[in-house]
Copies of this chain bind each other. A is one copy, B any other.
Amino acid sequence: MQLILASASPARLEVLRNAGVDVVAMPAQVDEDVVLSKLTSATPAEKVRKLAEVKALDLLGSARKDTIHAQIGSFGVEEEQDAVYILGCDSMFEFEGNVYGKPHTAENAVALFNKLTGKSGVLHTGMALICAQSYTDTSQEMRSRTVSAVVNFAQMTDAEIAQYVDTGEPLEVAGGFAIDGRGGAFIESIQGDYSAIVGVSVNALREMLKEYHEDIANFWTP
């Protein structure tokens, strides 16, 4: 068995590895803006699911079975007969009807936290799983879903907002907070799947693998 994460996110890779899942990361090359331009009327939950599907398919299409196996070989996996699964993921943060991406600048981050303080938002994570060997253009067999979770932010003082933004951590995180980093100190509670908030739901991965008649245990490191 081999799982390939079609994502460059270190946080996602860490979630899966902390959960004992043996995984390699091979980022997909997808122009998200082009995909999203065709989904203008979709909800955030639909958008992340579609983007996850496009990412997984992109990796499958650009790599295909032989290439994937060659690439996996370089990561030390020898048994060519093992099934290869590709997991695409995408996340969006929704707050009061708007979607917030990465703040990029300290100014944007401060403005965002001034809105979020003491309130709740929703983190949507789309996931798509393809079995590389059995997928064909005619079978088009893919499993996908969105896992959404509520994030309840603590009241932050102006000093706390400034201190957190100063760390630089929020600038390149969707929604501006890293629940698995310093940002965790400002999250009072959640309702939903914690790992989905970080970017990939381990429970959803287990369930999707089951639909392919695979146990997640077969992907655990020894």
Q: Pick the contact of A19 from B19, B159, B185, B216 — CB < 8 Å? A: B185
Chain B residues with CB below 8 A from A193, complex form: 187-190
Q: A181 an interface residue at 8 Å Cβ cutoff? A: yes
Most buried by B among A160, A180, A194, A205: A194
Chain B residues with CB below 8 A from A180, complex form: 18
Q: A206 an interface residue at 8 Å Cβ cutoff? A: yes
Beta-carbon contact of B217 and A160 below 8 Å: yes
Q: Pick the contact of A185 from B163, B166, B167, B202 — CB < 8 Å? A: B202
Beta-carbon contact of B20 and A182 below 8 Å: yes
With A189-B149, A189-B191, A191-B189 as contacts: A203 and B184 at CB distance below 8 Å: yes
Find the B residue at minimum CB distance from A179: B194
Beta-carbon contact of B186 and A203 below 8 Å: yes
Q: A215 an interface residue at 8 Å Cβ cutoff? A: yes
Kindly report how many copies of this chain are found in the complex they form together: 2
Find the B residue at minimum CB distance from A166: B217
Chain B residues with CB below 8 A from A206, complex form: 154, 185-186
Q: A164 an interface residue at 8 Å Cβ cutoff? A: yes
Q: Pick the contact of A202 from B19, B184, B203 — CB < 8 Å? A: B184
Nearest Cβ in chain B — how far from A167, in angstroms? 7
Chain B residues with CB below 8 A from A195, complex form: 184
Find the B residue at minimum CB distance from A15: B184
Q: Pick the contact of A163 from B166, B190, B217 — CB < 8 Å? A: B217
Q: A100 an interface residue at 8 Å Cβ cutoff? A: no
| Residues of chain A whose beta carbon lies under 8 Å from any beta carbon of chain B | 18-20, 149, 154, 159-160, 163-164, 166-167, 179-182, 184-195, 202-203, 205-207, 215-217, 220
19 A–B contacts, CB within 8 A, in A order: A18-B180, A19-B181, A19-B184, A20-B181, A20-B182, A149-B189, A154-B207, A159-B215, A160-B215, A160-B216, A163-B215, A163-B217, A163-B220, A182-B220, A184-B202, A185-B203, A185-B216, A189-B191, A190-B191
